[in-house]
Amino acid sequence: MARNKNQSVGHFHGPIRRCSAEELHDALGRLERAGAGRLGIRLAGLLRELIRTGGLPAGTLMPPSRSVAEAFGVSRGVVVTAYEQLLAEGFLLARQGSGTRVADSVTAADPAPTPSVPPPVARPGLPDLGGFPRTRWLAAYRHALMTMSSADFGYGDPRGHQQLRAELAVYLRRTRGAVIDPEYVMVVNGVAEGLALLADVAAATGRRHIAVEDPASPGARDLMARRGITVVSVPVDGEGIVVDAIREPGRLGAVLLTPAHQYPTGVILSAARRHALIELARAHDVMLIEDDYDGAFRYARDPVGCLQGLAPDITVLLGSVSKTLAPALRLGWLVAPRAWQEQLVARRVVTSLAGQAMDELALAHLLLTGGYDIHVRQMRRRYRTRRMHLVEELGTASPDVVVRGDASGLHLLAELPPQVREQTVLSSLRLNGFDVQGLAECRMGSPPGAPGGLVIGYAALAPASITRLVSVLSQAMG
C-alpha cells in the first residue's frame, strides 16, 4: 500500500495475527456510498473504533489495501486513505516488506459499564422527566432557530438574551408577584451558578458571613462554604426562619432562604416573619437571597408571592426551569438590586463568555405563546394527584409517620416516630432504588431529641412506585 515517506514505520513486537479482508467486511458491515475522500475517512473511523474495542488486537496484520477494496466494492484509493489516516494517528504501524499491523501501544477501551443502580426515583426536586413537553419545545426551538439574527450566534449580552429577560420579567411579575425591570434580570445556568456568582461578589465586597436556614439544602450550603463563605445556621420552625435567632446581624452579608416553601420542612415564611426579616436586613445592610425553587407548584391554595415583591431593593430572586421543565436545560434567572448589578455582570463575563442563545430564545417563545403556562398547569395537576396518593398510602400503611409542610412543591417531609432510626429506614429505601434524602443530612447540627425524617420527592414517582416505596418504608420501620 502507499505510504508517505515521512511516516514512521515503527517496530513490530508480539505474535502475528492475520486479518483477512473478508473478516474486516464482516466486522464493519456495509460501507455506505459517499465521495471517495469521505469514504476513506469513514472507513478510517470504523477501523479506529474496531481497534479501540479490541476487535483488531495489537499486532494484528492488516490485509492488503487491494483485497479490502475488493471486499467492500470501493476503489483502492479509499482504503489507502483510511490506512494512511490511521498510520498518521499511530493506530497502525508499517514496515517495508512486513505489511501493516495494529500498533502494540494501542490499548483496547474497557467496555461501557452496565448500570447496576436503578435511575434515581423519589429524589427531592426531580420533576417528572417523562412529562417534558417535547412537541412544544421542538416548535419553540425551531422558531428560535429560524428567527435568530446572525448577531444572535455571537457572544451576546452576559446577562442573557434581551427577549428572554423581558419575558421572564413579565412572567415573574404575573405569577410570583415580583417587582422586576428586565434590565436587572440575569439568565444563569441554573440556581447553582447564580449562588456561585452571589457568593463570589459577597466575598469580594467583604460579606463573608451568610446566614442559612437549618435544616436546608446541603448542596447550597456546601457551595457557599467552598467559595470561602462562612455559613451561619439559623433554626426554622412552623413559621419559617426564626428571625429572632439571628445573632450578630451586623456581621452578616446576606441571608439565604426559601420562603415560599422552605426546604426541606415545607413550611411557608409567615407574614410577620417576612416583615421582621426585612426590617432586620434594612437596619444592618444585609442582602436577602431568595431561592424560589418550586414556587410554581401550589395545590391547596393560591401561590404565595415571593419575598422579593416586598423588598426588591434588598432582595435577590433566584429561580430556574429545573423543576418546571427539566434540569438538563440549565436555564435559570437571577434578579438582583441595582447595587449588585455591575459586580455580578463583571463576574459573569469571567465565568461565562456567551449564553445559550438558542435555548434562551426557545424559552422566551414558550413563555410568550403561553406554552410554558400550559405545561406548568398540566404538571401541577399531575403532582397534586401524586402527592395525595403518597399521603394516603402513608396514612394507611404507616399512621405513625407525620407529613409536614405545605401542600406544594415536588417533595414532602415524612417525620418518623421517635423510636425509629432514620438511617435504618433510609438505607432500606436506597437499597430498593429510592433516592430519598434524610432530614439529618439537611441539618448543620443534631439537636437532642430531634425527630428523624425523610425528604421524599414524589413528582417523578408513578403510582405503583409510590405504593412500593411506602411498603419498603413500612417494613423498615418494623
**Tens of pLDDT along 316-354?**
999 999 999 999 999 999 999 999 999 999 999 888 877
Q: Where in the chain is the domain with CATH 3.90.1150.10?
A: 374-477
Would you identify the CATH topology of the domain 17-102? Answer: Arc Repressor Mutant, subunit A (1.10.10)
Predicted TM-score (pTM) of this structure: 0.78
Q: Where in the chain is the domain with CATH 3.40.640.10?
A: 131-372
As a whole number, mean pLDDT of residues 8-22 equals 59
Would you identify the CATH topology of the domain 374-477? Answer: Aspartate Aminotransferase, domain 1 (3.90.1150)
Helix axes 21-28 and 65-72, enclosed angle (nearest 10): 50
Dihedral (CA of 430, 434, 439, 443) sign: positive
Decide: 347 and 201 in contact? Cβ < 8 Å: yes
Return the CATH number of 131-372, one of 3.60.20.10, 3.40.640.10, 3.40.630.180, 3.40.50.10860: 3.40.640.10
> What integer pLDDT is reported at residue 43 of this predicted model?
84
Q: What is the rounded CA–CA span in Å between residue 470 and residue 478? A: 13
Distance of CA 169 to the CA centre of its chain: 23
As a whole number, mean pLDDT of residues 392-403 equals 94
Mean residue pLDDT across the chain: 88
Q: Which residues contact 331 (CB under 8 A, 6 or more apart)?
A: 187, 189, 190, 320, 321, 325, 356, 359, 360, 363
Lowest mean pLDDT among 106-120, 132-146, 430-444: 106-120
Decide: 337 and 181 in contact? Cβ < 8 Å: no
Q: What is the rounded CA–CA span in Å between residue 264 and residue 213? A: 10
Range with top average pLDDT, 47-51, 73-77, 107-111, 236-240? 236-240
User: Does residue 402 carry a pLDDT above 90?
Assistant: yes
> What integer pLDDT is reported at residue 104 of this predicted model?
81
Q: Where in the chain is the domain with CATH 1.10.10.10?
A: 17-102
Decide: 290 and 317 in contact? Cβ < 8 Å: yes
